[in-house]
Amino acid sequence: MLTLVIPCMSVYILKSRCDEAFPESIDSVEQTSPPIVSCLTPGSYGIPVPKQKPDVKICQDRFKELCTLTDRSYRYIGALVGSFLVVMGLIHFLCSLVANYAHIKDGRKLCDYEEAICEEIETSKLNHG
């Protein structure tokens, strides 16, 4: 489940960065301000960067393409919730198995105990009778 939490967090961070870089205008009127030069540096988010290219940056068009992929972030969150439900189901299944094992074990002990009492009663009747 932890393997899905990390991508969800990184997609959320990327989505917030994309919303910051490319704000959707509420009005259909063109914005008169110049376009913002937006770059993403992988090293600042903990993504390892090769030593040969320490100044790796994802800028403008490639960054915009990456931002279009963040629209699928709901799928990551859905997968996270789904994996959580699967883990909870497995925990419930294991609890049921343990309870059934304990019930069967107690049933065997009770059966052995009842047999021992019946034998004791029969032997006491034979000795007195």
Whether 90 has a pLDDT exceeding 80, the answer reads yes
- Could you report the per-residue pLDDT of 27-69, keeping only the tens digit for each? 544 555 555 667 777 777 777 777 877 777 888 788 888 888 7
Whether 83 has a pLDDT exceeding 80, the answer reads yes
Mean pLDDT of 5-28: 74
What is residue 80's three-state secondary structure?
helix
Distance between CA atoms of 44 and 17, rounded to whole angstroms? 12
Domain locations along the chain: 2-22+35-128
